[in-house]
Structure 1
Amino acid sequence: MKKRQNVTIKGTKGGLVLHLDDNCSYQELKRELDEKLSANTRTQDDRHLLPVTVNIGNRYLTDEQMEELKELIRQKKNLVVDGIESNVLTKDEAKRQREETEVVTVTSIVRSGQVLQVTGDLLLIGDVNPGGSVIAGGNIFVMGTLRGMAHAGCNGNEQAVIAASNLKPSQLRISDCINRISEAWQNEDKHDMECAYINENHQIVFDRIQTLIKIRPNLTRLEGGH
């Protein structure tokens, strides 16, 4: 009977990928990994460092175990750990992902000097007065007049958008892009709901909200839909 392989080594243009079985014991896995890496490095050119990506599948490893695997790989003179990939999410990671994707609905008026900040998307039912600020890791939707400052995608999300029933902000930010609004534009009479987003030239532009269907189709994509 052929022995089950707990460690599979695959060479790529970017280095090595180690696929580690997630059903065997951790100690058994370490022992086979050490044996196979030792045999593999004897055939490699010592003058070049090889990046190694480790895929541990559905196995949960503690921080200490991850460091053990990294150290085992580093001991092979021409290998450097590029990263460890896992299908397992910790509770903290799952919580963070949920916070980043959830829509927080707030019914309020953001007055001058106030700052309203959320991790994910913000749906504000109310106005943002001059001097007030709304900040979100995702998108910002204001069902009211936006006259203060709005910063969407504050953690670097350039796909984030800002939309308001009446868009007359003092300043808009999306990711690291800033658009300061002229007083004349703020005083312009508008009737359509508008949005702002980063275009292909890395600039914040304004348009009718209907544009979002084409430029940000994921905003309207329902889970399990088409």
Structure 2
Amino acid sequence: MDNSVIIKGGKKGITVVLDKDCAFLELKKKLEEKFEASAKFFNDANLALTFEGRNLSSREENELIEVINKVSDLNILCVINNNQTRVMEDKIDEIVESQIASRLNSIDKPCHFYKGTLRSGQVFETEGSAVILGDVNPGGKVIAGDNVVILGSLKGYITAGCNDNSNAFVYALEMKPMQIQIGDIIARSQDSEPSPKRRFRKDEATIEPKIAYVYDNNIYIEDFSQDVLADINL
């Protein structure tokens, strides 16, 4: 049995284990064969993709993703590599449209986009909703009059609902903020008060899409789902 490429499914998506000694061109061919054979199984699922087994350059990673896109209908929402999340730029519009944009577009105030990483000391501010196409590093800040969507890792400071909007929400592919403020409610990483729902926790270790919102004067963070979003008033 050829184990040059092994596809493993999991709760958070699929993991592709690559032979570190196989020539790259041969590896691409094996990858194409495996995903072509599995196309009907995955259908058009929205999945995160993880590469393991060998170090890939950005060019090699993109070439493998192009192969997967060519032979399958998978929607690759993000690539998780070396504990980092990289949102695929050619999928960003699709992600926003399918999960968030219809909600944001129903709001009268504008939605502003920022592409790139917000590093320590950098601030992105808007009167409407903010969509960050990248990460918010520790010390980076986003200040928005309404909602905040992070298509990447959130590890900095977020202020949403500055326009006295306690119905605002914060969404991120990886939710590990130093502080979140929604309206006049604040949750910090050291907060540890008990709660009937899962509260904002410093030790959140998994990389999963999550959404933060205000309920009963507290900020809660839940795994993202359409049901959770449907329950939030905008």
Question: What's the TM-score once normalised by structure 2's chain length?
Answer: 0.48
Return the index of the structure with the highest Cα Rg.
1
